[in-house]
Every structure is written in structure tokens, then in C-alpha cells.
Amino acid sequence: MTPPLRLAVNGASGRMGRALLELLHADEDAELVHAVVRPGSDDDGQLVPGAASGSLRYAHDWIHAPPIDVVVDFSGAAALGQALDHCLTHGIALVSGTTGVDDGLAARLADAAGKIAILRAANFSMGVAVLTRLWREAAAALPAWDLEIVEAHHRHKRDAPSGTALALGRAAAAARQTTLDASAAFERSGERVDGSVGFAVVRGGDVVGEHQALLIGTGERLELVHRATDRSIFARGALRAAHWLAGKPAGEWHLDDVIGRLG
Ligand code: NAD
């Protein structure tokens, strides 16, 4: 019998961290062995509820961490940097969903992928991963059609357009041998610019997240739509990615690799 995956969660008392801990209770193939919270957090030093080892306590650092196969991180840039240091020192694979990573840390992560397996995604929904692939292929197959991305989120979301909308824009731009910087239209007045990728943003209520990727031709259009109704999809995707990444060679891996071949 294969021993369970030894997993650590960074940002364990955050929204995503808690969702991951919930899922881990029901995952017989993985065991939570380390749970890192912000120094000063009320949880620091407390028992982790529901952990397979009844004596596991939240920690605020990596100093006494046991052997780990994969670290799953949903925290912040500084905390991700510390987790990365630990992964590099011990050759541990890293799955990270943390957004807002600055250029310096992004460069460190890219460099680290020469030594350990790293999988990062701005959106761990498997549905969005498949949508991105279909949209990329459609953008390449229909090079003259106009590309528009419409996204909707709850009223408290701070960034706009969403990281997922930007990632979709980058994917389509790359499929057409250009960059998002060269083609994004975030604001509009007047006629559509040829070859642009247009963005529209809706904010309101408690919308978890909707992305419409539109290819608009003459007399016809293609609409690829993803609607998230529950945040746990991101935790499920990250956990699936963690199982997939365990034992993979060093490198920068993507959710697209996890979904593999369609059909
Ligand atoms: P959150 O604010 O609820 O949780 C972040 C947690 O990290 C907090 O509990 C915070 O205390 C903790 N933290 C801060 N410093 C730390 C440290 N030094 N060590 C350990 N933990 C530390 O936020 P969230 O909604 O859980 O999101 C976390 C990150 O994941 C954000 O960057 C968010 O944008 C991103 N996110 C990504 C996806 C995805 O699918 N990729 C989905 C949701 C959220």
C-alpha cells in the first residue's frame, strides 16, 4: 500500500487554508503533517482540529517541520517566500495559489523551479483550467474573431479585472503570437481596435466568480462560460494538483499538465 502523501499547508487559518484542512479530513491518501499560520495568530500553538495525528499543532514557522512531500500554499507573498526557502532546503514540491506575487518573488520562484517541482495557478478550478485550454485553441483557430472577456465577482473584490481574466487574456494573446501588454483594452471609447483583447468587469452582491470568454465573428459567436458557486473548488483543485505533483521532477508545472489530455 502506498503511504499517504505528507502534506503541509501554508496559511492554514486563512479561508483557503481552512477549506484545505476540511478536505484533508476526508482524504485517506494524504496526511496533514504541518500547518503554518501567521506569527501572532490566535491559532498558533493550538491543536489542529480533525488532523489525523491528534497531537498536530499549528506552527508559525518551518523550523520543527517533519519530513514533507508537498507544501500547499495559500497565504501572502512574504509567507510564500518563507515556505519556498524551506522547500528549496529540503527538496520539497510546492503548490501555490497565492496571488499578488511581486516580480522579485516571481523570479525567485522561476529560479527555484530549476531545483524543485513547482505548480502555481491564479485559479485552481479544474473547470477554468479546461476553459483556458479551449479558449487558447479557439483564439488560434479563429484568428480574425474579436476576443472579449467579461468577469463578475462579489462587491468586496479589490482587484479588477480578476487575475483569472488577465490569465485568460495572456493565454489568448500568446495563442495569437502577441502579448497582453500589446493587446489589452481595459477601457473603451470609440471603435474597437483590431486585434485587441477587451475586458469588462461586473461587481456586485456575493458572486463567487464568473468568467465569459467570447470569440465574436461576423454572423456568429462562440461563448465559453465558467461559473463558480463554491470556493471549495479551489481547494479541491489544489489538493488534486498536490497529489499529481508528488514525485515529479523539478520544473514549472501548470494545471494544464494536471488535466492532461482531454477525452
Ligand atoms: P486569507 O487572508 O483568508 O488567508 C491568508 C492567510 O495567510 C491568513 O490566515 C494569514 O494570516 C496567513 N499568513 C500571513 N502571513 C503568514 C505567514 N508568515 N505564515 C503563514 N501564514 C501567513 O486569504 P485566502 O482567501 O485564503 O487567500 C490566500 C491567497 O490565495 C491570496 O493570495 C488569494 O488571492 C489566493 N487565492 C487563490 C486562489 C486560487 O485558486 N489560486 C483561490 C482563492 C484565493
Average pLDDT score over the chain: 95
For residue 131, what are the contacts with CB-CB under 8 A and spacing of at least 6?
A: 168, 211, 213, 224, 226
Task: State how far the Cα of 243 lies from the Cα of 73, in Å rounded to an integer.
Answer: 14
Going by C-alpha positions, the residue among 93, 97, 118, 95 that lies closest to residue 107 is 118
Grid cell, residue 197, equals 483583447
C-alpha cell of 129?
483550467
Mean pLDDT over 115-126 rounds to 95
Name the residue of 38, 168, 226 whose CB sits within 8 Å of the most ligand 1 atoms, as the mutation to test its pocket. 38
pLDDT for 134 equals: 97
pLDDT digits (tens, 9 = 90+) for 121-134: 989 999 999 999 99
- Choose the catalytic residue: 34, 86, 153, 211: 153
Q: Examine the residue annotation and report whether 25 is marked as an active-site residue of this protein.
A: no
Q: Identify the weakest region by mean pLDDT among 49-53, 130-134, 140-144.
A: 49-53
- The pLDDT of residue 50 is 80
Pocket test for ligand 1, best of 34, 75, 233 (most atoms within 8 A of CB): 75
Annotated active-site residue in 60, 115, 154, 157: 157
Q: DSSP assignment of 173-240, as one string?
A: HHHTTS-HHHHEE-S--SSPPTT-EEEEEEE-TT--EEEEEEEE-SS-EEEEEEEE--THHHHHHHHH
User: What was the pLDDT predicted at 262?
Assistant: 55
The number of residues in the chain equals: 263
